[in-house]
Amino acid sequence: MSMGTSKAVLHVLSGAVPQFLSSDLCSSNSDLVFYSKCLVKSVKKKGPKYLRSLKCSGMSGSQIGSYGCKCLGGGLYRNTTIDRLKLLSCKCQQAESVSGVDTGRENEAWFVDNANKLNLNGSIPEFEDVEKLKREDEASISNDKAGTGKSTFAAASVDSFEEEAWELLQASMVYYCGSPVGTIAANDPTNSNVLNYDQVFIRDFIPSGIAFLLKGEYDIVRNFILHTLQLQSWEKTMDCHSPGQGLMPASFKVRTVPLDGDDLATEEVLDPDFGEAAIGRVAPVDSGLWWIILLRAYGKCSGDLSVQERVDVQTGIKMILRLCLADGFDMFPTLLVTDGSCMIDRRMGIHGHPLEIQALFYSALLCAREMLTPEDGSADLLRALNNRLVALSFHIREYYWIDMRKLNEIYRYKTEEYSYDAVNKFNIYPDQISPWLVEWMPNKGGYLIGNLQPAHMDFRFFSLGNMWAVASGLATTAQSHAILDLIEAKWTDLVAEMPFKICYPALEGQEWQIITGCDPKNTPWSYHNGGSWPTLLWQLTVACMKMNRPEIAAKAVSVAEKRLSRDKWPEYYDTKKARFIGKQSHLFQTWSIAGYLVAKLLLADPDAAKILTTEEDSELVNAFSCMISANPRRKRGPKSSKQTYIV
Ligand code: GLC
């Protein structure tokens, strides 16, 4: 038993901890893990609470890979179309504790109304129900509007897309012990190859969560935040190796399993996947970063700061930060990750320091900085965070930025410079500049490249990274406008018939063979390799709102509206111009639906984007300019590189 564990047992025995999730025990990582484990068994075993906690302290992580609640309904709940009302009789210790903070339920009526309409009673509706409702809605809309002009019809159909999207989003809600805790990745009744699309993905839930927040429905987001927090500290192993503590799962599933030793009862368990079951066994580095971003958005939107102030939530934030800020072998302030650690969760040549992770990292650092409550012992963490923010933004703005001027500079680079003041620090050989880029780079505009390694610049345009660099302020104001200028200039490549291309251009031929490992799902202009993903609409819209250029987002939304509903909300589109529904695209993909809704909501209320955007404060701006003047591109020596900035 570790020190942390024995300390925890003592606390539990002395009754010092009245309720899980609000415990002082969570002040250290090992304590937190232990406490989560206790919960698992405490719902399974009968007997006095403290004894139960003690008993489970000997369990290993692999024995209890999920946590659950006991349901008293007998073996009725194995079907996905379970009657969720019955589940309300669950004795759900987690749900009670998680719902400990009451934020008011003024918007519940909206859900109840819609649930009644679909006769949901909290259950996942059958596809036919949704389709029937859609047809009824369409019929009633066309009846209502009969005889009116064309523009009214267009407005009516746009409204009906939104209505349909809300209904589908609602139907995608996943319940745990009667409470909504997330949304399923895809609700596609035509696809028998579900894979893990029946799970709640952390990154996929973000647009759902934002849509719910903007609609005033806070409970599901709060539940999601608190339940995923419990999963964070789970010990999951792959071939005897556990990922770093603080890692958030890629996804989780609510499973209904028979209760040990009780034939009549079942329990629901939350079963996380940290990548140990995911295709390719990729680590979801983005999950924790998104979790922090959503947590801040929740507080800003609902006004309920009590969630982010909770001790366990503060510990969760710190665990993610410690994992990201840990010293390693790296020379760069960017976060070093393996391939497929973000939205592109397959091999695509994005190992090292991919832009998307850096933009989310920067954003999460700023959000965490805003939420961390000052306390003894956190000064070092805050200092490390501030130093990293400054170094990271300098590094990205300086070395990832590319436009005509910079491209010409690289074209004329000298190589093999051994010195502190090298201009070509990463020893980039100008021959790397691909012919496509020479043609493609517009005179007005620029972007942040996909990745930077020694002697390697990945010049591909990655959309999410660029959009989130704008949203988070990682890109400077001038760079942010230039990114939007480039999107406008390259509209036919990046949007064409469906927004938005995940990256541009596609890897082809030998490059595709070597970099993707001949991945048949990532063939040129398909899926992650130059496919078009409707969900990216929401990040585009946030970036446009931040820069006060809503017309770009509005144009993209109107392109999407032409096809999304008609095509049954696909996950992605294929071909250079996004003309086909993706080869293996799931339909009724929740984040396509939610992404559209968030874009619409933000277009209607641009100010609401502030729950997601961040700005540098004056302290950081000062530290940044201090860094630039102390460390101009051509003046770098061993002394100045040692300097730290305490902001
Ligand atoms: C695919 C996507 C990933 C997403 C998952 C569920 O694996 O690449 O980003 O989270 O599907 O939709």
- pLDDT of 566 > 90? The answer is yes
Of 172, 339, 341, 345, which is best to mutate to test ligand 1, by the most ligand atoms within 8 angstroms of its C-beta? 345
DSSP assignment string, 240-258: TBPPPTTPPPSEEEEEEEE
Lowest-pLDDT choice from 253-267, 505-519, 588-602: 253-267
518: which 2 tokens?
A: 């001949």
Q: Which residues line ligand 1 (CB under 6 A)?
A: 185, 201, 203-204, 343, 345
For 215-331, where are the alpha helices, taking DSSP H only? Answer: 219-232, 285-302, 306-309, 311-325
Atom of ligand 1 nearest to the CA of 251: 10
User: In angstroms, what is the span from residue 228 Cα to ligand 1's centroid?
Assistant: 18
Tell me the average pLDDT across 581-607: 97
Q: Is the pLDDT of residue 7 over 80?
A: no
Average pLDDT estimate for 461-477: 98
The region of weakest confidence among 167-181, 392-406, 410-424, 494-508 is: 410-424
Q: Determine the distance separating the centroid of ligand 1 and the alpha carbon of 491, expressed in angstroms.
A: 25
472-493: average pLDDT? 98
The highest-confidence range among 235-239, 264-268, 562-566, by mean pLDDT, is 562-566
Task: Quote the tokens at residue 301.
Answer: 């939107």
Rounded to whole angstroms, the Cα distance separating 211 from 620 reads 31
Each residue of 103-122: pLDDT tens digit? Answer: 333 333 333 344 334 333 33
Closest atom of ligand 1 relative to the 185 alpha carbon: 12
SS3 track for 138-201? HHHHHHHHCCCCHHHHHHHHHHHHHHHHHHHHHHCEEEECCEEEEECCECCCCCCCCCCCCCEE
Q: Quick one: what percent of the chain has pLDDT higher than 90?
A: 59
* C-alpha 143 – ligand 1 centre gap (Å): 39
- In angstroms, what is the C-alpha Rg of the chain? 25
User: Is a pLDDT exceeding 70 seen at residue 142?
Assistant: no
**In this structure, which residue's CA is closest to atom 3 in ligand 1?**
343
Query: pLDDT: is 366 or 25 the higher one?
Result: 366
- Return d(Cα 418, Cα 414) in angstroms, integer: 11
Structure-block tokens of residue 563: 């096809």
In the reported structure, the alpha carbon of residue 74 is separated from the centroid of ligand 1 by a whole-number distance in angstroms of 34
**pLDDT at position 155 over 80:** no
Let me know how long the chain is.
647
pLDDT of residue 621 exceeding 60: yes
Average pLDDT over residues 393-401: 97
Q: Which atom of ligand 1 is least distant from the CA of 527?
A: 8
Q: Is the dihedral of CA 643, 289, 529, 441 positive or negative?
A: negative
Of 485-489, 556-560, 572-576, 623-627, which range is least confident?
Answer: 623-627
pLDDT of 627 reads 77
How do residues 247-269 score in pLDDT, each as one tens digit? Answer: 899 999 999 999 887 888 999 99
Looking at the DSSP bridge assignments, the partners of residue 581 are 573
CB 172 within 8 A of CB 183: yes
Q: What does the pLDDT read at residue 527? A: 98
Where residue 156 falls among pLDDT bands split at 50, 70, 90?
low
Task: Select, from the ranges 70-84, 131-145, 262-276, the one with the highest average predicted confidence (pLDDT).
Answer: 262-276
Say which residue, 275 or 307, is predicted with more confidence.
Answer: 307
Q: How far is the CA of 68 from the centre of ligand 1 (A)?
A: 25
**From CA 217, how far away is CA 212, in angstroms rounded?**
5
Token couple for 123: 């259950």
Going by CA atoms, what residue is nearest to atom 2 of ligand 1? 343
Q: Give the E-state strand segments of 446-512 in sequence order.
A: 446-448, 451-453, 456-458, 461-462, 503-504
Q: So what's the pLDDT on residue 645?
A: 52
Output the pLDDT for position 285: 94
pLDDT of 393 > 60? The answer is: yes
SS3 67: strand
CA of 359 to the centre of ligand 1 (A): 19
Q: Is the Cα dihedral 635, 640, 642, 647 positive or negative? A: negative
pLDDT at residue 233, as a whole number:
63
Q: How far, in Å, is the centroid of ligand 1 from the Cα of 344? A: 7
Best residue among 197, 204, 341 to mutate for probing ligand 1's pocket (most ligand atoms within 8 Å of CB) is 204
Residue 447 CA to ligand 1 centre (angstroms) = 25
pLDDT higher than 50, residue 503: yes
Structure pTM?
0.79
pLDDT digits (tens, 9 = 90+) for 377-389: 789 999 999 999 9
From the CA of 250, how far away is ligand 1's center (Å)?
9
Q: Whose CA is nearest to atom 1 of ligand 1?
A: 345
* 571 Cα nearest atom in ligand 1: 12
| Better-scored residue on pLDDT, 500 or 454 | 500
What one-letter code names the amino acid at 52? Answer: R
- Strand order of the sheet with strand 67-71? 67-71, 262-273, 251-259, 200-201
**Local confidence band at 4 (pLDDT 50, 70, 90 cut-offs):** very low
Q: Which atom, in ligand 1's list, is nearest to the CA of 346? A: 8
| Residues whose CB is less than 8 angstroms from the CB of residue 109 and which lie 6 or more positions away in sequence, other chains included | none
Average the pLDDT over each of 156-160, 266-270, 485-489 and give the range with the smallest value: 156-160
Taking Cα atoms as reference points, which of 118, 211, 221 lies closest to residue 167?
Answer: 118
Is the model more confident about 14 or about 443? 443
Nearest C-alpha to atom 7 of ligand 1 is from which residue? 345
Q: Where are the beta strands (DSSP E) in 509-577?
A: 573-574
Calculate the average pLDDT of the chain: 78
Percent of the chain clearing pLDDT 70 (strictly above): 71
Q: Report which protein residue has its CA nearest ligand 1's atom 6.
A: 185
DSSP 69: E
CA 211 to chain centre: 14
